[in-house]
Amino acid sequence: MTVFALFFLVVGLGLIGWLTARARASRFATLGAGKRHSLPSQHGWYVALWTAAPALLFLAIWSAVSPSLATQEVLASPAAAELPAFGFQREAILSEARTLAEGNSFGAFNEEAKALAPAYAKAQSKYRWIGTALALLLAFAGGAYAFSRVSPMFRARTRVERTVMIALLLASLIAILTTVGIFVSLLIESARFFSVVPLTDFLFGTHWSPQIIKSSDPGASLGAVPLFWGTFFIGAIIAMIVAIPFGLMSAIYLTQYAAPSVRKWMKPILEILAGVPTVVYGYFAALTVAPAVRDFAVSLGFTYASSESALAAGLVMGVMIIPFVSSMADDSIAAVPGAMRDGSLAMGATTSETISKVLLPAALPGVVAGILLAVSRAIGETMIVVMAASGAATITLNPFESATTVTKQIVDLLTGEAAFDSPKTLAAFALGLTLFLITFLLNIVALRVVKKYREAYE
């Protein structure tokens, strides 16, 4: 029996458990001196959970463990004696034998694999039967145990509620645990990198050329300062010069000036802009904006203007961020009590005086938090810079020159052909870790600012 069929069998058993327990519970429902504690369907759920949950949990673990058990058994068999002792060849033969045994392949390159296939098939079917038997046994045992407890005074409701709570808790923990896992794996790979390249070389070195790494002194060409400068220049300066004024002004227009009918169609359009895939912005940056920026720079007299300029990537990134800044600013301006606005207008202030002197100062913490989140988004943004920014790491203040970013370099480092444990590849993890820490810090600061601000008005 395949795992798939077994899964449905167990679920079916759970359903049967649900039906029988509910039927039984509904019979004694209102009898007796003490009234029943739980509804019949809650008894049903209790039995169904006891039937299906342990068996499914076992199945999940078993399908992860049993292949390696089968492999070990095959290796112990006499047919395995002729295998090469170690290495690539041995692995290839084993995996070929496995596919043969499962009937997914019709021929084999290695004769040894053919010889091993029957042994494999035998071991696999043996473990499959053991798994099936154990899962069914668990399902029946769990079901029987739960069914025996079904009685008028049994508190099935409380137990089912607790199971639901645990399931929800697990669901919410998955995102957190994944983040922790990512962080730990980054940390481990980065530690390997920093065992080869000194931390100070990486953090303060100004020369970045991962293509040419001297094995005697790998740190000399792995200085990340140009990358962080480029990231900062494109994401936090050029993009924000575009995004902050336009985002803020659009938020002010939408909250203070726009007639409700205008707001009704303008806000959704801005939100659609936020949903455009970044790769589309990337095309736009590389194919339309970058040549235009270069031509403009040439007309200004910068004859060596790059067609992968920092300005092109930054401009498009800024446009991408506008809806984000706008909606954050919109929220924080709308959160300023209407009484402030009325108070200012009643003093004879104009709408624009009211905005600049009362509403914006009051909304400032929220706006600042929004901008910090926008910066953290911009410096983590990848697709636009991969397509539009240059790979050359330079430290420049000229927006028409090329600049590169951390995310762009990570993509370049990992898509190359270098071995996975070379300093060049490992550098990607160190860059990732640093970027992670920076955006993490920005987000924490932003959230704290928002929280403080909320307290002030409630």
Partner 1 sequence: MTDTQAPNPVRVDQTEPATPKAATHIKMSARDVNVFYGATHAIKDVSIDVDMENVTAFIGPSGCGKSTFLRTLNRMNDTIPIAKVTGDITLDGEDIYSPQMDVVQLRARVGMVFQKPNPFPKSIYENVAYGPRIHGLAPNKGAMDQIVEQSLKRAGLWDEVKDRLHDSGTALSGGQQQRLCIARAIAVDPEVILMDEPCSALDPIATAKIEELIHALRGKYAIVIVTHNMQQAARVSQKTAFFHLGNLVEYGETSDIFTNPREERTKDYITGRYG
In what helix (H) or strand (E) does residue 385 lie, and over which residues does it extend?
helix 383-388
Residue 226, C-beta contacts closer than 8 angstroms, at least 6 positions apart:
206, 207, 208, 393, 394, 395, 404
Cβ-based nearer residue to partner 1, 334 or 345: 345
Cα–Cα distances in angstroms (integers) from residue 396 to residues 224, 226, 354, in the given order = 14, 9, 40
- What is the binding site for partner 1 (CB under 8 A)? 259-260, 337, 339-350, 353, 357-358, 361-362, 456
Closest approach, Cβ 450 to partner 1, in A, equals 16
Cβ-based nearer residue to partner 1, 97 or 358: 358
Cβ-based nearer residue to partner 1, 288 or 356: 356
Residue 336, C-beta contacts closer than 8 angstroms, at least 6 positions apart:
358, 359, 362, 363, 457
Cβ-based nearer residue to partner 1, 28 or 253: 253
Cβ-based nearer residue to partner 1, 175 or 346: 346
Closest approach, Cβ 447 to partner 1, in A, equals 21
Task: Name residue 222's beta-bridge partners.
Answer: 208
Closest approach, Cβ 353 to partner 1, in A, equals 5
Among 272, 306, 284, smallest CA distance to 383 is for 284
Cβ-based nearer residue to partner 1, 351 or 396: 351
In what helix (H) or strand (E) does residue 35 lie, and over which residues does it extend?
none
Closest approach, Cβ 248 to partner 1, in A, equals 19
Q: Residue 32, by phi and psi: left (phi above 0), alpha (psi -120 to 50) or beta?
A: left
Closest approach, Cβ 264 to partner 1, in A, equals 13
Residue 341, C-beta contacts closer than 8 angstroms, at least 6 positions apart:
354, 358, 359
The radius of gyration of the chain from alpha carbons, rounded to an integer in Å, stands at 32
SS3 of 84, please? coil
Task: Name residue 402's beta-bridge partners.
Answer: 309
Cβ-based nearer residue to partner 1, 15 or 345: 345
Closest approach, Cβ 336 to partner 1, in A, equals 9
Closest approach, Cβ 367 to partner 1, in A, equals 14
